[in-house]
Amino acid sequence: LCVFSSLQLVSLLLIGIAAWGIGFGLISSFRVVGVVIAVGVFLFFIALVGLIGAVKHHQVLLFFYMIILLLVFIVQFSVSCACLALNEEQQSELLEVGWSNTNSARTDIERNLNCCGFRVFYSNETCAADCLRTLHCRPCAPIMEEYSGMVLRFVGGIGLFFSFTEILGVWLTYRYRNQKDPRANPSAFI
């Protein structure tokens, strides 16, 4: 039951962080928040399926939970390793691609980090930062690169930790599935 509660904790954390980001105006992209909330709800329902399967000793639900949890482990482990393996040059390239492809994220970054432009700010561009009033704005790339390395290491480490609890959950579910149900024939255990 410990593994089910850790998966529920992760799902509620995802939903809570997305709601916090929207509530404090840190994120204005509803697509990003929608995906995070959808993943959180999906994980919550998977944890609920595992919990019901364990309480009812339902072999099919436990098998379904075990397979889905194994797939979640593979995806989460891969993403966590990718976060930890990115070097500074790759992070910079990834940030530049993200910067040039999304206007809403660019506006959020400029407003929250109080910077304008990626590497250089041109006067014909728009900027949502307060520093534009004083005309003393720093470019966003160095600030984002500083934060991105720290965030990627944090996300990768947390992801690795929870991925190992998920593989533990797969193993425990496999072991629990093969046990006899004590309610089926109580005299068989005497």
- pLDDT, tens only, 98-149: 777 777 777 777 777 788 877 777 666 777 777 767 767 788 888 888 878 8
Q: Are 83 and 2 in contact (CB under 8 A)?
A: no
Per-residue model confidence as pLDDT tens digits over 64-86: 888 998 998 898 888 888 888 88
For the cut 70, the answer to whether the pLDDT of residue 23 exceeds it is: no
For the cut 60, the answer to whether the pLDDT of residue 179 exceeds it is: yes
The structure tokens listed for 82 are 């990718």
The single residue listed with the structure tokens 């990003």 is 32
Q: Give the list of residues 6+ apart from residue 79 with CB closer than 8 angstroms, or none.
A: 159
pLDDT-derived band at 42, boundaries 50, 70, 90: confident
* Mean pLDDT (the chain, rounded): 76
Query: According to the model, what pLDDT value does residue 56 have?
Result: 83
More confident position, 80 or 35:
80
DSSP state letter for 17: H
To the question of pTM greater than 0.75 for the whole model, the response is no
